[in-house]
């Protein structure tokens, strides 16, 4: 077997900066959402539903969009259902299809919470970057997304 | 209250590319670790311990280094203890201090797994970037890390 190609110090610093920044950022965003009763994961489910046509998504599509397993999503949707934010609906045409649907309360919640959350994303991330860096992030990560989406089962 | 400063389309694309790339990447790295019996979180604990002096870290420092709550880390360390990868030790000088210590088996495991894991990180991330992009990632994310570390309680 060939010698492992360890990361160079520069590559390692970049990889760790990415990892640590991401985690600290999620942690901070989650903390700033705390008073709303939503987690960052709840928030993202609500955003996805609110942006989809008829405010509903098939569970499997929602799992893909939020990059999590069906079973983990199912638990989360159950909690959000108890909180009145979403409802589950079966699709008549398709026995396999269950939809997650945004409720009126879910819609009101996301409308109320979004401005503060976007302010958090700006304060801790976007407004700390130059316009060139914002562009660079898209140019770096969008091809990684395309590569990895091709690997999804 | 002022109008919310929504993200521009460019900013939104960058933010989502970052989020989605990160999740897909973690998912893929986790999947490629599967045969080893380690999760990506286990791997990172082992790396942190293997790089620290005397192969041990105070639990609170390990929680900071891996950006997770003490209680979540504690559960994870319990699972890794059952698998024989780490041990817990109390610190005699300090009643509050508990250490996580890498076992001989933990050390063998990380030594065996690391080459393949680094190859995964290269294949799906580092080797897809130009040297300039690697440098850019460090320059973008390291200041975000410094900013957010200042906010930790």
> pLDDT tens-digit profile of A78-108?
999 999 999 999 877 766 689 999 999 999 9
CA–CA dist B27, A148 (Å, integer): 9
| Secondary structure (DSSP) of A87-109 | EEEE-TT-TT-EEEEE-HHHHHH
Rg over alpha carbons for chain A, rounded to the nearest Å, is: 19
Stretch B44-50: mean pLDDT, rounded? 96
Show residues of chain B in contact with A4, CB under 8 Å: 114-115, 118-119
In 3-state terms chain B splits into helix, strand, coil percentages (rounded to 5) of 70, 10, 20
Domain assignment present for residue A30? The answer is no
Domain assignment present for residue B5? The answer is no
Show residues of chain A in contact with B131, CB under 8 Å: 10
Contact A33, A96 (CB under 8 A): no
CA–CA dist A53, A66 (Å, integer): 17
Stretch B45-58: mean pLDDT, rounded? 95
Query: Of A149-153, B4-8, B139-143, where does the model show the most confidence?
Result: B139-143
CA–CA dist B68, B52 (Å, integer): 18
Domain assignment present for residue A32? The answer is no
CA–CA dist B85, A117 (Å, integer): 39
The answer to whether the Cα torsion of A32, A35, A36, A39 is positive or negative is: positive
Phi and psi, residue A89, nearest 5°: -135, 140
Burial class (CB in 10 A: 0-12, 13-18, 19+), A145: buried
B118, A6: Cβ pair inside 8 Å?
Answer: yes
Q: Which two tokens stand for residue A45?
A: 């489910």
Q: Per-residue b/e over A4-15, b at no fewer than 16 CB within 10 Å?
A: eeebeeebbbbb
pLDDT for position A96: 67
CA–CA dist A117, A29 (Å, integer): 7
Domain assignment present for residue A4? The answer is no
pLDDT for position B69: 87
Nearest one of A29, A28, A54 to A44, comparing CA atoms: A29
Show residues of chain B in contact with A66, CB under 8 Å: 23
| Interface subset of B 115-144, CB within 8 angstroms of A | 115, 118-119, 121-122, 124-126, 128-129, 131, 133-144
pLDDT for position B102: 98
Domain assignment present for residue B69? The answer is yes
Domain assignment present for residue A48? The answer is yes
pLDDT for position B51: 94
pLDDT for position B153: 60
A111 near B CB under 8 A: no
Domain assignment present for residue A9? The answer is no
CATH number at residue B111: 1.10.10.10
Domain assignment present for residue B6? The answer is no
pTM (predicted TM-score): 0.91
Q: Which range marks the domain in which residue B127 is found? A: 38-148
A114, B4: Cβ pair inside 8 Å?
Answer: yes
The domain total for chain A is 1
Contact B100, B57 (CB under 8 A): yes
pLDDT < 70 stretches in chain A: 1-2, 94-96, 152-153
């Amino acid at each position: 077997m060939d010698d492992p190609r360890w990361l160079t110090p520069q590559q390692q610093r970049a990889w760790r900066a990415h990892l640590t920044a991401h985690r600290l950022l999620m942690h901070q965003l989650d903390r700033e959402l705390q008073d709303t009763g939503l987690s960052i994961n709840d928030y993202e489910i609500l955003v996805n539903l609110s942006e989809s046509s008829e405010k509903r998504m098939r569970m499997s599509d929602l799992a893909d969009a939020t990059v999590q397993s069906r079973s983990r999503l199912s638990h989360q949707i159950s909690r959000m259902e108890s909180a009145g934010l979403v409802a589950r609906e079966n699709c008549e045409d398709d026995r396999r299809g269950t939809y997650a649907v945004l409720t009126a309360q879910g819609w009101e919640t996301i409308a109320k919470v979004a401005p503060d959350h976007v302010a958090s994303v700006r304060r801790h991330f976007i407004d700390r970057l130059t316009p060139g860096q914002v562009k660079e992030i898209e140019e770096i990560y969008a091809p990684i997304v395309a590569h990895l989406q091709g690997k999804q089962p």
